[in-house]
Amino acid sequence: MKLIGSYTSPFVRKISVMLLEKGMVFEFVNDPPYEAGNRVAEFNPLGKVPVLVTDDGEAFYDSRVIAEYLELLPDAPAFLPADRAGALRIRQIEALADGVTEAAATLFRESRRAPEKQDESWMLRQREKLQQGLDALEALAQQKTLLNGERLTLADIATGCALGYLNFRRILPNWCVGRPTLIKLAERLFARESFARTLPP
């Protein structure tokens, strides 16, 4: 099994954490899609990572689809409950955390453009998404049911990767202000070997 991606992608990190937590053997292929000469499009026509290539040569792409595939395999632990309704609620939090990550990535890319070419209104909209998404995650983490519970779930992994990306790219440096439960969740997740091993360089 091969995981194609880049060391800095939070979505690749999400899948890497899942694989490590499940103890699955895989080969990581560092092939950043933004670098010239990459071969990502050979496996994903959209040219995006992560891509998981099975031992049979079948390619799965988009981190949520890959996560779903991994949960179909017998390898433990499971990060989604067997109950479909319960799994759907976990997947919704995953989507929320991924949305926070996407807004942060958009802000990072926009910030790298020349100042005169940056769209301030667009950046403001992304910051609003970030704040609203983080507030929602904080509220969910306080409930300690679907997120921040006793068992590690896909919601926890996606949230940890989102918070890690904010720290890595220094997007919204004050994200932790007023969100004490998310801080504690992040500290607990970052102490796990799977998160330590996938820390971006």
Give the model confidence (pLDDT) of 3-45 as tens digits: 999 999 999 999 999 999 999 999 999 999 999 999 999 999 9
Give the model confidence (pLDDT) of 122-152 as tens digits: 999 999 999 999 999 999 999 999 999 999 9
**Token pair 């507030």 in the structure block, residue:** 135
pLDDT at 49: 98
pLDDT band at 74 (very low <50, low <70, confident <90, very high): very high
Q: Which CATH architecture has domain 84-192?
A: Up-down Bundle (1.20)
Phi/psi zone of residue 172: left (φ > 0), alpha (ψ -120 to 50 degrees), beta? left
Average pLDDT over residues 89-93: 98
pLDDT at 145: 96
Strand partners, 2: 27, 53
> Where are the chain's structural domains?
2-72, 84-192
8 A C-beta contact, residue 39 and residue 31: yes
CATH superfamily of 2-72: Glutaredoxin (3.40.30.10)
pLDDT at 136: 98
pLDDT band at 117 (very low <50, low <70, confident <90, very high): very high
> From the CB of residue 138, how many other CB atoms can be counted at a distance below 10 Å?
20
- pTM of the shown model: 0.97
Q: Residue 172 and residue 128: Cα distance in Å, rounded?
A: 11
Mean of the per-residue pLDDT values of the chain: 97
Consecutive H or E run containing 95: helix 84-111
